[in-house]
Chain A
Amino acid sequence: MRLSQAFKLAWQCIIGSKMRSFLTMLGMIIGVASVITLLGLMQGVTNYMIDTFSDLGTNSLTVTVNNTDTRKIDVDDVYRFTEENSTLFEGVSPSVAGRYTVKNGTTSASTTVTGVGEDYFSLNGKDLAWGRSVTYADIKNRSNICVLGTYLVDELYAGIINAGDTIRIDGQIFTIVGVIEEQADSMEGSSDDGIYIPYSVACRLAKNANISSYTFIAKDSDHVDAAETALDNYLYGIMKDEDLYSIMNMAALLDIINQMTSMMSGVLGGIAGISLLVAGIGIMNIMLVSVVERTKEIGIRKSLGAKRRDIMWQFVIEAASISMLGGLIGILIGSLATTTLGSLFGIEAAPTSSSILLAFCVSAAIGIGFGYAPANKAARLNPIDALRSE
């Protein structure tokens, strides 16, 4: 008997008792759908987290220094160090962050004000939607100018900035010279919610003469580790104490996030996988009942010359067909559920092709694996006893 015949036969059996076939499939449908949904959502969450961190720059190294009276990092030395190591570093920008209340007339908001160097915007991939960025002259002259994120433009200026508009930061008047292009849908707390001013001005605002934080950008992702080592040596040379400074490597952080989420995916997938196992047992159960019910049929087929192999194939293919059909329906439902739930949670989630492939292969394997025992039982039936049964 050919394989196509076995599939045809299996299809007739599935169609012949729709309700029963559906109930048998149900376990597989639920199992596959939950595997696909969980893995898809988990992937969506991972992507979301990676995106968020990538905004901060995967090639960036953030250095935090605790300056003391005797040992401190001078900003000009940092610039010199970066230039000397231009094979490793794209550039550097000091960053002096603080949270202040900002006001336009009577409307006010609380936001992060970051003091930056002139290269900050290009290094961090922030383009200007309007105006100009912070210049070297602004830093030298300690000019009260600022560049705004789009969230604040929307909140305080109803979306429109005119040349010469000013803003009060902690009571001091700043002239708005530029607006950064929208990066995260102008959401509160996102990278669009912030103000950038010259770092020299920020130091004055913070009443602190020393700069405690620098953002270094490595030449490319291959140089991140070398840059980190060079930086570490340089800082240790000045501070002589590892506890007085720290270097945060965004790429390493991203790796950790990736590891954690893939571990989570594994755990969730495993839990959902148990339901696939249960589904397989359900199929085996029904197939065993089916073999008993169809003993007479098996006897007739054997009396007409069906070999063990033929009967075996018939039942294995039937179990596999039920299982795979359930798997396909499960993939469909799972895909729908993933995108629906994803948009409900506000993340972009789509079923991953690997999870679809995995689910399909697992459902086929379960069908064949759990179909084997009943099929073997059917194949071994004695034709005489089978013919005599009613």
Chain B
Amino acid sequence: MKNRNRVEDTYSGPLIQLIDIHKVYYMGTSEIYANNGIDLSINEGEFVAIIGKSGSGKSTIMNIIGALDVPTSGQYILKGKDVSKMNDNELATIRNQMIGFIFQQYNLLPKERLINNVSLPLLYSGIGSAERHERAMAALEKVGIADKYRNFPNQMSGGQQQRGAVARALITNPSLILADEPTGALDSRTSEELLTFLKQLNEEGNTIVLITHDRSVAERANRIVSIQDGKITFDGNVEEYRRQVAG
């Protein structure tokens, strides 16, 4: 697939730079510090797992990395662009062109056929229907369910639906694939298939950030970042992580 994204290809710094990220939620009068000073740098081509228990702040950091939300303070630089001060529409453009989401619940639109679900991001970047169709078929080919292109999501198994979601994430050729508990709704065999596929995508040069609470899933990545109480408590490779957990 040709890279059609409007990004500066000359940029050579880290893909993701999080600098002293704080995120505060206000619940009535009390303040909840979901992220409390997170610094993180991820280079292009990495496969990073962010692990943490529920309430650790990993979802908040995922929302920020995924340009779904902006931090209360701190800077988020994505491929040289400061995302942390962007407005709604600019964030939408970032999500559309630079990020491919894979969700736990697949999040395919139930009333749309698979092909239309997969090509949806292209619709919002204003690409014509012929090209949308062509690129969606190519993406479906890549995840191996091209024959299901006319099916509705409820006519497919969970594994197939998640593959459809992966195809949708890949279709814009994003700078970053962001997977939020991608195996959470899958049985162990299809989970294994999906993780192998993500590994393969990473070996092809895609940058992947995987959010999970599951150690065995996190250990499939090359680098593990552990979050607790809104702070990074560990950042290193899998061996170091195992040693730290054991010790």
Chain A contact residues, CB within 8 Å of chain B: 1-2, 5, 12-13, 16, 296-297, 299-310, 383-384, 387
User: Which of B63, B66, B96, B103 counts the most A-chain CB atoms under 10 A from its CB?
Assistant: B96
Given A303-B101, A304-B121, A387-B103; 19 other pairs, CB 8 A cutoff: A1-B124, A1-B126, A2-B126, A303-B66, A303-B68, A304-B168, A305-B96, A305-B124, A305-B125, A306-B96, A307-B89, A307-B93, A308-B88, A309-B89, A310-B124, A383-B68, A384-B69, A387-B68, A387-B107
Q: How far is the CB of A131 from chain B (nearest CB, A)?
A: 78
Q: A302-B92, A305-B92, A305-B96 are in contact. Are A384 and B124 (CB under 8 A)?
A: no
B1-45 to A contact mask, C-beta < 8 Å, 1/0: 000000000000000000000000000000000000000000000
Q: A384-B68, A384-B69 are in contact. Are A12 and B124 (CB under 8 A)?
A: no
B97 partner residues in chain A, CB cutoff 8 A: 305
Chain A residue nearest to B98 (CB atoms) is: A305
Q: A383-B68, A384-B63, A387-B107 are in contact. Are A307 and B88 (CB under 8 A)?
A: yes
* B interface residues, tally (CB under 8 Å): 24
The DSSP consensus for interface residues of chain A is: helix
User: A297, B88: Cβ atoms under 8 Å?
Assistant: no
Of residues 84 to 114 in B, which have CB atoms within 8 Å of A's CB atoms? 88-89, 92-93, 95-97, 101, 103, 107-109, 111
A-B contact pairs, 22 of them (CB 8 A): A1-B124, A16-B111, A297-B109, A300-B109, A303-B66, A303-B68, A303-B95, A303-B101, A303-B103, A303-B107, A304-B101, A305-B93, A305-B95, A306-B92, A306-B96, A307-B89, A307-B124, A308-B88, A310-B124, A383-B68, A384-B63, A384-B68
Distance in angstroms between the alpha carbons of A387 and B66 in the assembled complex: 13
B124-140 to A contact mask, C-beta < 8 Å, 1/0: 11100000000000000
A305 partner residues in chain B, CB cutoff 8 A: 92-93, 95-97, 121, 124-125
User: A306, B107: Cβ atoms under 8 Å?
Assistant: no
Distance in angstroms between the alpha carbons of A384 and B67 in the assembled complex: 10
Chain B residue nearest to A306 (CB atoms) is: B124
| Interface contact tally, CB-CB below 8 A | 60
Distance in angstroms between the alpha carbons of A5 and B68 in the assembled complex: 25
B208 partner residues in chain A, CB cutoff 8 A: none
Q: How far is the CB of B83 from chain A (nearest CB, A)?
A: 14
Chain B contact residues, CB within 8 Å of chain A: 63, 66, 68-69, 88-89, 92-93, 95-97, 101, 103, 107-109, 111, 120-121, 123-126, 168
Chain A residue nearest to B171 (CB atoms) is: A304
Distance in angstroms between the alpha carbons of A383 and B124 in the assembled complex: 15
Distance in angstroms between the alpha carbons of A383 and B125 in the assembled complex: 18
Q: How far is the CB of A4 from chain B (nearest CB, A)?
A: 9
User: Which of B63, B97, B107 counts the most A-chain CB atoms under 10 A from its CB?
Assistant: B107
A300 partner residues in chain B, CB cutoff 8 A: 107-109
Distance in angstroms between the alpha carbons of A16 and B63 in the assembled complex: 32
Distance in angstroms between the alpha carbons of A341 and B125 in the assembled complex: 53
B121 partner residues in chain A, CB cutoff 8 A: 304-305
